Structure 1
Amino acid sequence: MRARTLLPATLAAALLTLTACGSGDGSTPDTGAGSSSAEASSPAQPPAASNGNGSGAEEAQVPKVLNFTATTVDGKPFDAKTLAGKPTVLWFWAPWCPTCKGQAAETAKVAADNAGRVNVVGVAGLDKNAAMRDFVSDTGTGSFPHLSDENGEVWKRFEVTQQSHYVILDKNGKTVYEGVLPGGRGLADKVAGLTG
């Protein structure tokens, strides 16, 4: 009987703690991929600020997995919250990887064929940013964003341990596929299953 009275009090205390984590008191800055995810689920916080581009991300519920920020290979800030509400393909690659180069054309084609319906984001790692920029230029994959993950924060977040790896999320942020797709074969079918 005592356990029944303690459970509601424990839950209330946990919810109060979660709400306090997203209070924006400045004690934990939101500076990178490892930033706190409590604010995404806190009812006191809006899902995402309007960015004025009409993307609709501000209306979508932001899943915990997309509560991170990064920098693109061309030095622009990137907020993964903008991916909320649409299926997302995360392509983890390294500039020196021949398998990754072999996936570039198909990944770019899937991105172009599904523009506006599916997010495609490259996540570059295991090298320096200059090499990452060269890879994007050499492979013609500049039509979609690529994150410069030199410190491996996004790779760690998604528990990726090898290059040429795809993580595909549905519109709710649930992982529906992760693994290697040689030459990108099968990527279009996996994406079609999320949009059709």
Structure 2
Amino acid sequence: MRRATMLGATIGALVLAGCASGEAEGGDAAMSETPMESTAHATADAMEPVETPEPEVTVAEEASEPEPDSAFAFTAPTVMGGETFDGATLDDTDVILWFWAPWCPTCVAEAPVLLDAAERLPDGIEIVGLAGLSGDQSFMQEFVEMTGTESFTHVADLDGSVWRGFDVSSQATIIVVDDSGDAYTLGAGTTADELVDYAEKIAAT
């Protein structure tokens, strides 16, 4: 019994020594706080006020007119007078836009080409003339009568805003636009057959 008691005492001493050794190996930081102290510090940290940024205040800018989301967002008089044309009626449609100037000989030469193509266009596609680079509406009317293109709708872009909306700066320009907004810009010298081919292309999409 005495040997058993002494062995137990020796094992107990070794266990205590091991705990002491583990404390030293774990470092002072691991055991420097009791669980109660650690909880107290965590609670104190959680209760510290958190600074939130003040909302940034900006001075409201003066309201301005929204930018048009489409080049078709325009109204203008028709060349032959008496009506106001709303460009929005052409948006989301297949259309051929003919940009001409009343003093332009190339535009005069283009008129028969467009008249020929107009007779062979797929159903639902029309040609709309956009007269520009002149503030003289009567001069534009003379052009329409001289070229025999009265069957087309012609818009009088007297201030140039419609042309700028389509990024057109020179006459004798044709833009073929499909109903999704994709466009093909054609220059002088376009034939009626080419125009019909483009019209068939946009009608099929």
TM over 0.5: yes
State which of 87, 90, 96 in structure 2 corresponds to 1:89.
96
Superposition deviation, residue 167 in structure 1:
1.3
Tell me if the contact between 1:65 and 1:173 (Cα under 8 Å) persists in the aligned partners. Answer: no
Partner of 2:80: 74
Runs of 5+ unmatched residues, structure 2: 1-62
Which one has the bigger helix percentage? Answer: 2
Superposition deviation, residue 116 in structure 1:
4.6
Distance in 1 (CA, whole Å) between partners of 2:90 and 2:126 is 7
Superposition deviation, residue 172 in structure 1:
1.7
Tell me if the contact between 1:87 and 1:169 (Cα under 8 Å) persists in the aligned partners. Answer: yes
Tell me if the contact between 1:111 and 1:144 (Cα under 8 Å) persists in the aligned partners. Answer: no
Tell me if the contact between 2:71 and 2:162 (Cα under 8 Å) persists in the aligned partners. Answer: no
Other structure's SS at 2:128 match? strand
Partner of 1:179: 186
Partner of 2:33: none
Partner of 1:120: 127
Tell me how many residue pairs correspond in the alignment: 139
Partner of 1:194: 202
Distance in 1 (CA, whole Å) between partners of 2:119 and 2:159 is 29
Tell me if the contact between 1:166 and 1:178 (Cα under 8 Å) persists in the aligned partners. Answer: yes
Superposition deviation, residue 37 in structure 1:
2.1
Other structure's SS at 1:85 match? coil
Other structure's SS at 1:182 match? coil
Tell me if the contact between 2:93 and 2:178 (Cα under 8 Å) persists in the aligned partners. Answer: yes
Residues 1:133 and 2:131 aligned together: no
Partner of 1:142: 150
RMSD: 2.2
Partner of 2:163: 155
Superposition deviation, residue 36 in structure 1:
4.4
Distance in 2 (CA, whole Å) between partners of 1:79 and 1:71 is 9
Select the structure of larger CA radius of gyration.
2
**Paired letter, 2:75:** T
Tell me if the contact between 2:100 and 2:107 (Cα under 8 Å) persists in the aligned partners. Answer: yes
Runs of 5+ unmatched residues, structure 1: 1-20, 22-26, 29-34, 39-63
